[in-house]
Amino acid sequence: MIQDFLQLPVVILVRVLLGMVLAFVVLPNIVLPRPPSARTSLDATVVRSVRWTGIILAVSHVLLVVRLFHVLPILLLCAYGWLRKQDRLPSRKRVATDGVVTTDAVLAGDVSEFDEMPERSHSAVQRAWLQFTDMFSVFERVGFRMFVDWIVGVWRRLLGLVRSVFTRQSALLAVLVAPIVGILSASLVERGRLAFRFETLSPPEAYVYLTWAKSFANNSAFPDGIYPQGLPGFIAFLGKLTPGIDLYEITRYTGALIGMLLVFGIFYAVLRLTANVGAALFAAGAFGIFGTVQQWHSPWIRQTGPLPQELGFAIALLALPSAILAITERDRDHLRTTMLAALGIGIIHPVPLAMFIVFAFAGALVTAVIDRGGFDYAFFVLVYGLIGGLIAHVYVPIGLLVGLDIFQGMDHPFTVRSYAGGRTEALVGLMATERLGHNLLTYVAMGSVALALLVALVMRARSRTRHIGAQLAGLAGFGIVALALYDVRPLQIPLNLLGPMGNLVGIAVALALGAGFAAVTAAAFAVRNPLQRAASVIVLAAVAVAGFGRTFDTGPLQRAPSEYEAMAAVTRDVMRNQDAFTFTIVGTPQQRQAVAGVGTFIELWVFARDVTVRDAQDPGFVVPDVSSLMFARDLGQTLPIPTADVYIFVEKDPFPVPEQAPVGPTEEYYYNREKRGRIMATVYAWAEYYRHYHTDMTVHFEDDDVVVYRIRRRPNTVASAAAPQFKDYTWEPGVLFTGGPAEPSEVVIPWES
Amino acid sequence: MGELRVRPIRARHRSAAAAMRLRGRTLIVLLLAATLTVACEPTGERRLVSIREGELQPGYLTGELLYAETRGVRQSALFIHDLWEATRERLPLPRGYATSPNWSPDGQRIAFAFGTEDGRSHIWVVDRDGENLTRITDGEVVDDYPRWSPDGDSLVFASIRDGDYDWRLFVVPVDRGREPRVVGSTDGHSVFPDWSNDGRFIVYSNRDGDAYELRVLDLVADVDRALTEGGEGGQHLYAQFSSDGREILFATDRDDDVWQIWTLDLATNTQERVIGSDSMDEYPTYSPDDEFIAFSTGHLAVYRTDGGAFPDGQLRWAVTQNLAWAPDWRAAE
């Protein structure tokens, strides 16, 4: 009962979300010191998370190189213990009482407090942690009296905590926070809809990142050659902190969570730079709730799948304010954030890294121009970004030194090829219709940028809004860069980067809308009462978001499956219901990547090559089921594990794959419709004969497209290891599957006709 | 002062730690003792055990073992193993899938099934030295599991033919004087026949439902009856008569899905497990004096019928190292 509940899609999503919060919000708040540049608890949390991401990805890669990634959680515990011993954790004496006021003020856009209020608080997370750790301090003390005092003290603190929840300020904070929580929830639901409905990972590259994440978790570095492993490391780290959830599920929902993180990044960047919660809500709301609007130029599928560029953009959005604030606040601590952000983004993907450095420098430069100073800091933003980016790419020379090749999987635009394959037919079609062109939304964005620059100049002239004006200009500066990349022909992004570029344009347009909204509502700063000011801009933002929704039509939820849903669903069902390594799956590359590290696997083309109808007719024939080579490539292991259950997946109607040049066995056998059909026909005939002459095979699942056979018997370790079948994965181009029935429907089963 | 307070504590800790270690050792010893007690409990031969196996020792077993061995995907070859010398030779046959070899009663000829690339297979006969390779059956058929009649004039084999897609048993004269005629049950699949030494009975496996059961055909009385009724569960394959015709040796997976070697007493119909190992034991065959059983367990192994150990203390000897099956044992000349 509880197990069933824990495996519900929405529960898994929440568990992965909590794991992400634990991994990238709670842990950095516990381990990392409070950044001096942080003005609010929100700032401190975001900056810590950004820095933590860079640090943790770098540490993960170091551990990966020495094959010790699995000790990362232990290392974190040791780091915590050491920091505690060194008394470097956030002070335990400064118990917070007014942190709520600070956050409240910032959300309400109180500029005076925003600029001048010194930090005197801890976040709610820190408070909870301190109370939790206080419980253990009793073990350091001696005497019953002190134990009683401790119990009483804890009780009083708990009472105080409960009372504090019902204060006016807490209620106010809840009202202010509710809209963004609502927007984030809506954006998560929107981006998670495909993951809820379908077991198939989408886009197809997700299977590649899943494989790499499994390799990462098993200390196998760069299984397909040198390529940024930041996203696989991110997923593998999440896997460490979400016990009981398979990496498949984490990968499945990580895309939606990254999409939500993008929305939060837009919210935070606009809020931090404009101090206008309405602008932040409008930008995040429009992009988050109406993400399928075609005019964003932001391919919807990229926001729903686990893709490294999008993760890089999300971190970049959280870090970009630091580049601007370094100018207005002349604080080198922001530069450290910039560098660590560049480090993390660089490990994830070079495209968002380049975008981050360009945007950060351009934004800083525009800010410096408007602020009439801080050009040296703008220069340092560039230098620190480049340093972080260079450090991030240390893995390249290290990989070359140990004899690895650069990943060669990008042999075709829009496709990423693992040795196990993952193709993107729908993406290719989608991109063809997604040529960047101007539309009403981009014109509004351009107008917003111009207006923001104009208002920035006006705000710059008044001392009370001087910094905000400069920051607003910096925000507009991002839009200028995006439009330059968009329109100026020599700067235009090469075709094969259009995918991430499309998303970048969408994000830049959203930021521009936020800047425009902040410019339009700049007069709100005249309202002295912060509550009235916040309320007015929130109402305006709600109207603007609603107007956005009415103006632009949302498009369909695009999806790019690379296999039948039933194939993925049955695979996942087998994985859930059987213990690890008690089953073998005979299937396509998608099944292979799903079961890697969980079960054993035989490629369908190898199975089709090595079985004969004569075998199937022999009652004494037992299917050997060891595929040691493929297994070894997954996990660096060579132990053959024969299993009691063998599931054979056959597409009765071969999946309509995109045709690919035969650059490898995956392409020749699976992305060639004729050969895919012949392989399915061969295995279908064999299975039907086997079922006729044997008693240990049943039809495990069948629908119009797919049939899954199950063989259940005692595993024969010796015979499986010694049998010649399924051991040779040598690719012989053009030799196999050149004749025979084109697909299962052409197979004649004599006793059924 | 501080030291005075600390030292006794440390000393106490040391003594406590020593006591803990002692208790830990005691616990480990007790656990080991309990484990050994359970492992050595005389539960009879039903208990699955990992059999101790050694290499075949020359100069102990006599006769020649004929068997098929894998040479690659869809490739196998027939070998004759001299058990006294512990040497072997390969029958000079064309490349292909040769299986189910069987000595003729006089030990001079070998019948076997030979599969071709098109998925067909036929029954062939060849001399002991590889000469006079003769095809006994032909057509678009799948023939397998040939067994000689005691007089050496006929072969019984299983076949898929005549537009029927189930296995049937056929008898054909070796001189090809007549067409194969059906014998045994025509319901379901009938496979793995073996002829009794008096020529009166053919034992075979038949599946007309969920499981292969043993049946015996009385050729004189023309009576076909079931030996196992399915109540035992599991499959029953590879039946072979003992030399005196009183017992049948076969393999079944009726217990724990593990293929094991059993015997069936035809007079009392009692069945007894001979080998209760936890490996997959199939294709059993008696030695000519019924003192030993050769069988396939991935490779080929030999076991004493009475379960006793070999001279080196091992419970069975490995005859081959590679994937091999379908052994047939003939006496030394």
Structure tokens at A420: 């196990």
- The helix or strand, by DSSP H or E, that contains position A400, with its residue range, turns out to be helix A395-401
> CA B158 to CA B147: how far, in whole Å?
10
State the pLDDT at residue A581.
84
pLDDT digits (tens, 9 = 90+) for A408-436: 654 433 334 443 333 333 333 344 334 56
CA dihedral A250, A256, A262, A266 (to 10 degrees): -140
DSSP assignment string, A24-68: IIIHHHHHSPPPTT--SHHHHHHHHHHHHHHHHHHHHHHHHHTT-
Q: Above 50 in pLDDT, residue A587?
A: yes
State the pLDDT at residue B48.
53
pLDDT digits (tens, 9 = 90+) for A475-522: 888 888 877 776 665 555 554 454 556 677 888 889 999 999 999 998
Burial bucket for residue A710 (CB in 10 Å: 0-12, 13-18, 19+) = middle
Residue with more model confidence, A2 or B26: A2
Distance from CA of B128 to the nearest CA of A (A): 26
> CA B147 to CA B109: how far, in whole Å?
12
State the pLDDT at residue A215.
85
| Contacts with B72 from chain A: Cβ below 8 Å | 724
- Taken in order B278, B280, B283, B287, the sign of the CA dihedral is negative
Query: Average pLDDT over chain A, rounded to whole?
Result: 81
Best probe of the A interface among B53, B214, B280, by most A CBs < 10 A, is B280
Work out the average pLDDT over B108-123: 92
Specify the pairing of strand B271-275 against strand B260-265: antiparallel
State the pLDDT at residue A311.
94
State the pLDDT at residue A560.
74
State the pLDDT at residue A500.
53
Q: Above 90 in pLDDT, residue A95?
A: no
Integer-rounded Cα Rg, in Å, for chain B is 26
> CA A79 to CA B53: how far, in whole Å?
52
Q: Are A448 and A662 in contact (CB under 8 A)?
A: no
Q: Are A531 and A108 in contact (CB under 8 A)?
A: yes
| Helical packing angle, A498-520 and A530-551, nearest 10° | 130
pLDDT digits (tens, 9 = 90+) for A255-289: 999 999 999 999 999 999 998 889 999 999 999 99
Whether residue A619 and residue B212 make contact (CB cut-off 8 A), yes or no, is: yes
Q: Which A positions 690-749 lie with beta carbon below 8 A of chain B?
A: 692-693, 695, 713-714, 716, 718-719, 722-725, 728
Work out the average pLDDT over A221-234: 86
> CA A325 to CA A35: how far, in whole Å?
14
Work out the average pLDDT over A209-231: 85
B38 to A238, A345, A348, A392, B255: CA distances (angstroms): 43, 59, 55, 58, 21
Among the listed residues A40, A160, A161, A26, the one whose alpha carbon sits nearest the alpha carbon of residue A110: A40
| Contacts with B250 from chain A: Cβ below 8 Å | none
| Helical packing angle, A205-217 and A230-241, nearest 10° | 60
Query: Average pLDDT over chain B, rounded to whole?
Result: 86
3-class secondary-structure state, position B2: helix
Backbone angles phi, psi at A701, to 5 degrees: -155, 145
pLDDT digits (tens, 9 = 90+) for A121-142: 455 555 555 555 555 444 444 4
Q: Nearest residue of B to residue A644 by CA position?
A: B257
Among the listed residues B195, B186, B243, the one whose alpha carbon sits nearest the alpha carbon of residue B216: B195
| Contacts with A623 from chain B: Cβ below 8 Å | none
Best probe of the B interface among A714, A730, A732, A753, by most B CBs < 10 A, is A714
Q: Which B positions 135-194 lie with beta carbon below 8 A of chain A?
A: 142, 144, 160, 165, 167, 189, 191-192
Alpha helices in A552-603 (DSSP H): 565-577, 589-595
What's the pLDDT band for A67 if we cut at 50, 70, 90?
confident
Q: Nearest residue of B to residue A751 by CA position?
A: B165
Whether residue B115 and residue A614 make contact (CB cut-off 8 A), yes or no, is: yes
Among the listed residues A259, A182, A185, the one whose alpha carbon sits nearest the alpha carbon of residue A538: A182
B231-236: long-range pairs with CB below 8 Å, 24+: B232/B271, B235/A619, B235/A695, B235/B205, B235/B211, B236/B205, B236/B211, B236/B212
Nearest by CB: A722 against B189, B257, B298? B298
Distance from CA of A209 to the nearest CA of B (A): 34
Distance from CA of A697 to the nearest CA of B (A): 11
What's the pLDDT band for A166 if we cut at 50, 70, 90?
low
pLDDT digits (tens, 9 = 90+) for A313-342: 999 999 999 999 999 888 899 999 999 999
Integer-rounded Cα Rg, in Å, for chain A is 28
Structure tokens at A649: 């997946």
ipTM: 0.83
Q: Nearest residue of B to residue A727 by CA position?
A: B73
Q: Above 50 in pLDDT, residue A185?
A: yes
A725 to A50, A640, A728: CA distances (angstroms): 50, 13, 8
State the pLDDT at residue A662.
82
Q: Which A positions 257-286 lie with beta carbon below 8 A of chain B?
A: none
Structure tokens at A241: 């902190």
Backbone angles phi, psi at A717, to 5 degrees: -60, -50
State the pLDDT at residue B104.
97
Burial bucket for residue A627 (CB in 10 Å: 0-12, 13-18, 19+) = buried
pLDDT digits (tens, 9 = 90+) for A606-638: 999 999 888 899 988 888 876 644 444 444 445
Whether residue B322 and residue A724 make contact (CB cut-off 8 A), yes or no, is: no
Work out the average pLDDT over A649-674: 87
> CA A96 to CA A119: how far, in whole Å?
10
State the pLDDT at residue B36.
55
Structure tokens at A358: 């360009």
In A426-529, beta strands by DSSP E = none
Alpha helices in A580-736 (DSSP H): 589-595, 604-610, 613-617, 628-635, 665-670, 673-693, 717-722
Whether residue A613 and residue B119 make contact (CB cut-off 8 A), yes or no, is: yes
